[in-house]
Structure 1
Amino acid sequence: MRPTRKPGSFLRIPLPDGSFGYGRVLELLFDAFYNYRTTEPDADLDRIASKPILFRIAVRQPHPKSWEPIGWREIEEHLTQPVIQFSMEVGPLRRCTIFDNLGNEREASPKECIGLEPDTVWESHGVERRLLDAFMGRPNRVLERIKRELEQ
């Protein structure tokens, strides 16, 4: 049976340097990405699922064909927790709102939003770059720009 891209699907993601990252399709638009990188393709779901999650973000659908589905499992409890994000008004007031995918929200200062995921839908190439940046221990250009806006 060919793997699909339904919630619970594992994805093998080719990265710009020729290595591979791994993700998991969650509910709605969100995917989780593991702190796991290989130089050769891996399809061991136990090994992949045992790794910590780097981030959970909204990703533009459909996924590119290069993001290969490699298997499926029920989504574990820790991956069903709300995804917390923030949005920030443009302009001099710079008010932030912290919210989750369950509909909870509250106003917050920009400083409270530092370290949270921005209300952004990521393109696949942006996810690939962000994964590689994390694995290489370097800042991600998109996240650094957002952080500078929050700190102003």
Structure 2
Amino acid sequence: MHNPSDKPGVFLRIPLGDGSFGYGRVLEPPYDAFYDYRTTEPDVDLERIASKPVLFRIAIRHSALKPWEPIGWREIEAHLAQPVVQFTQDIMNFRDCTIFDSVGNERAAEPQECVGLEPAAVWEQHHVEERLLDAFMGRPNAYVERLSVRFR
């Protein structure tokens, strides 16, 4: 079964736990981008949403039980079409890191090179909703902290 909100370029309105809304964009599956934009009333102005900075681009497991609302489509801009760069870090040997991207490039890396990159993970929708709300509220996010680079 094909979901129309899987199409790259689709804008998504995301209900957050405090009653506000965040906004995302479908990239090449499984990746989505999430904007630094929050509203108290639903917004459908794609131009305004697309003009906002992107907070993060991550792999998502979309749920059929609680779909985010597709609110429109536009061709993906060049900056969003860039490969998504992530890292992995060995649990037993923290010095063993790998940086890779969504088009298949990969290389060994030092832990400090991974700072600021997204950890390799597939996010559940409710965790993304929490991460967005934490970002908007200026709070650390437990999932991001748990997955961040370790130095020992």
TM normalised by structure 1 equals 0.92
SS of the aligned residue for 1:142 comes to helix
Once the two structures are TM-superposed, the CA of residue 26 in structure 1 deviates from its matched residue by 0.4
Is the 1:10–1:72 Cα contact (8 Å) retained in structure 2? Answer: yes
1:54 alignment partner in structure 2? 55
Is 1:106 aligned to residue 107 of structure 2?
A: yes
Deviation beyond 4 Å, 4+ runs, structure 1:
none
2:78 alignment partner in structure 1? 77
SS of the aligned residue for 1:111 comes to helix
Once the two structures are TM-superposed, the CA of residue 113 in structure 1 deviates from its matched residue by 1.1
2:10 alignment partner in structure 1? 9
Once the two structures are TM-superposed, the CA of residue 146 in structure 1 deviates from its matched residue by 2.4
Is 1:87 aligned to residue 88 of structure 2?
A: yes
Q: Give CA-to-partner distance per residue, 1:25-77, whole Å, 9 cap, x none.
A: 00120000000000010001011011010000000034654410000011111
**What is the identity, as a one-letter code, of the residue corresponding to 1:4?**
P
- Determine the C-alpha separation between the residues in 2 that align with 1:57 and 1:63: 19
TM normalised by structure 2 equals 0.92
Deviates more, 1:86-95 or 1:75-84: 86-95
Percent of paired sites with the same residue: 67
Is the 1:14–1:66 Cα contact (8 Å) retained in structure 2? Answer: no
- Determine the C-alpha separation between the residues in 1 that align with 2:127 and 2:47: 27
Residues matched between the structures, number: 149
Once the two structures are TM-superposed, the CA of residue 93 in structure 1 deviates from its matched residue by 5.3
1:42 alignment partner in structure 2? 43
Deviates more, 1:68-77 or 1:109-118: 109-118
Is the 1:114–1:150 Cα contact (8 Å) retained in structure 2? Answer: no
Is 1:131 aligned to residue 147 of structure 2?
A: no
Is the 1:63–1:124 Cα contact (8 Å) retained in structure 2? Answer: no
- Determine the C-alpha separation between the residues in 1 that align with 2:143 and 2:100: 20
The RMSD of aligned alpha carbons is 1.6
Query: Where in structure 1 are there 5+ consecutive unaligned residues?
Result: none
- Determine the C-alpha separation between the residues in 1 that align with 2:71 and 2:94: 46
